[in-house]
Structure formats: C-alpha cells, structure tokens
Amino acid sequence: MWLLRLLAVLTLLVVIVGVAAYLLTRNPWYLQLSYRLFRYALVVALLAFALLILERVAAIAL
C-alpha cells in the first residue's frame, strides 16, 4: 500500500511539474504529457479501488 501512495505522490508531482513547464515554455507537449499521465494514473487508481472493493465483497461472501 505504501508503494501505491508513493507512486501517487510522484505522479502528482510530475503532473504539476509538467503543467509548470508548459506555463514557462508554452510548449504544448508538456501539457499533453501531463494530461496523458493523469489519465493513466486515474485508470490505475480506479482499477486498484475496484480490486479493493472486490476483495471486501469476496471476504463478506465467504
């Protein structure tokens, strides 16, 4: 669980740095990279939450 938290914090930092780099350079590549990384991180987080919920449901059913 600590690994997921660490990855979440690092992902958030990279997205913030990407947006800041876009604001400084006006290069749209940084904004696209930040958006793409945010989307993938959101999908991974939702999958992790779904697995946690599935684990709880399986524990209750057994």
- Structurally, the chain folds into a number of domains equal to 1
Tokens of 19: 């947006």
Q: Can you give the residue range of the structural domain that contains 44?
A: 2-61
pLDDT in tens, 10-59: 999 999 999 999 999 999 999 999 999 999 999 999 999 999 999 999 99
Q: Are 30 and 22 in contact (CB under 8 A)?
A: yes
pLDDT given for residue 1 in this prediction: 83
pLDDT given for residue 61 in this prediction: 86
How open is the CA angle 50-36-21, to the nearest 5 degrees? Answer: 130
Model-level pTM? 0.84
